[in-house]
Amino acid sequence: MILKYISFKELNYAKSWQDGWNKINKLSNFDKFITIFWLLGPLIYLIERDPADVWLTSLSLLFIIRCFIKNNWSWASQLWFKSALALWIFGLFSSITSEDPLFTFQQGFVWIRFPLYAAATQVWIAKDRDIRIVMLLSIFFGMLIMSAILITETIYEPKPRLTWPYGDLVPGGYIAKVSLPLFCVLIAIAVNQKSRAGIISGLVGLLSIAVSVLTGERTNFLIRACGGIVASIAWKPKLVMFSILIFIETFAVLVVFFSRPDLSRSFVNNFINHIPLANTTDQNPYWGAWRGGLQQGLVTPLKGVGPSGTRKTCATLDTNLPEWLPGKNYCGNHPHNFYIQLFAETGIVGLIIGCIMFGSIIFTCYKARSQNFNCPMAATAFVVPLALFFPIQQFGSFYGQWGNLFTWFAIAFALSQSQEWINCIKNFEK
């Protein structure tokens, strides 16, 4: 079986594949169905947003129903979930006191399904390591399919921004976010294993980062590139292997840039000109989006304008204020930064709660390193939320749908590497 050729002591794909399916077959019929349904997630995500949303929402709702039936809420004592719940509740408060309570309440109310999906993955579906490895292979398969689709699009319809298979400018989100946990594992293996497994992992990682460049999505490429660098030093790296990997990946990106001058201009010249903190002139819409969010937050600093309310209130602002903020506002659908958006839409209170949530998710994933450092999945888990929540970057909407479907899929898989919550509950009960 091909899995034997990429297996090694710390991550035996072949054995875990067999053991994982044996464990799934021993589950109750309901849990077996749910687990298989969960494992199909990376493939369902290849179809379109609506099927992916139904998939994630269904798992969230079934998890809540299961918790009510079993009267088991011990998992909810984790700080990351308590802060997510507090942020959700405060967001609803902000919405009902906003200028458009119906719209903002609807936007804020449905957001809770994303943390619930993460909790369902961590404490129910993916508690077992072998089952998580089966999902890792499902992500691997999905990433290869997406890479093949985007390479085909590049050949037949070359353009600065790729759109297949969705028809809009988001396929880089799948490559950069949905498959980020896998990419981190591949890079960690590539710089650790002087073996066939290390070579294959490095080549697959190289392929995916080249495809990420082809999508033309600069932020998603940086998430992948920077996340890969951190992952490469997170799990017992060998200096020679690390140096070779960095050289090969840099060379591959340069080859793509030289063969596609349009991409090089987009990634280098345009990117530098559009960095918000480096260019605060009137001509930079990226800074303008941030500026509009900051101004709205300063108008209602305690509670904000309500979830997703910035898309409606930005246009009514007096752009001459505040005088100390340079540039002019660009009013799109949201401020394009999680932290600025939380400040604008939930005020300083929501921003503080959100920062606690982000930090506790990163810390929870980081604790997985000490729990099972020999496992590259656990050792690199913290890289996923660190990359996806790193503050100085362009984000999609914090309360949006497509972006959150990508982001929380990866966050959930990273959180599932930490199972310390079980021991904490046992100690508490004693």
Tallying the residues shown for the chain, one arrives at 430
186 is a domain residue: yes
Closest CA to 35 of 120, 145, 98: 120
User: Distance (Å, rounded) from C-alpha 210 to C-alpha 215?
Assistant: 9
245 is a domain residue: yes
pLDDT score at 244: 85
CA–CA distances in Å: residue 88 to residues 60, 323, 345, 407: 15, 33, 12, 17
Residue with tokens 């400018």: 169
27 is a domain residue: yes
325 is a domain residue: no
pLDDT score at 282: 87
List pLDDT tens digits, range 321-370.
Answer: 888 999 999 998 899 999 999 999 999 999 999 999 999 999 999 999 98
288 is a domain residue: no
Token pair recorded at residue 11: 């991550």
pLDDT score at 87: 98
Residues 94 and 345 sit within 8 Å (Cβ to Cβ): yes
Q: Is 328 helix (H, G, I), strand (E, B) or coil?
A: coil
List pLDDT tens digits, range 49-58.
Answer: 999 999 999 9
DSSP string, 272-290: HHH-TTT--STT-HHHHHH
Residues 59 and 37 sit within 8 Å (Cβ to Cβ): yes
Residue 246 has pLDDT above 90, yes or no: no
Q: What is the mean pLDDT of residues 381-395?
A: 96
Token pair recorded at residue 350: 């929501």
Task: Give the confidence band of 269 by pLDDT, cuts at 50, 70, 90.
Answer: low
Task: Give the confidence band of 423 by pLDDT, cuts at 50, 70, 90.
Answer: low
Residues 95 and 108 sit within 8 Å (Cβ to Cβ): yes
Task: Give the confidence band of 189 by pLDDT, cuts at 50, 70, 90.
Answer: very high
Specify the pTM: 0.95
- Domain span at residue 197? 20-274+336-429
List pLDDT tens digits, range 322-333.
Answer: 889 999 999 988
405 is a domain residue: yes
- The domain tally of the chain equals 1
- Choose between 213 and 82: higher pLDDT: 82
User: Distance (Å, rounded) from C-alpha 162 to C-alpha 172?
Assistant: 8
219 is a domain residue: yes
User: Distance (Å, rounded) from C-alpha 52 to C-alpha 49?
Assistant: 5
Residue 430 has pLDDT above 50, yes or no: no
311 is a domain residue: no
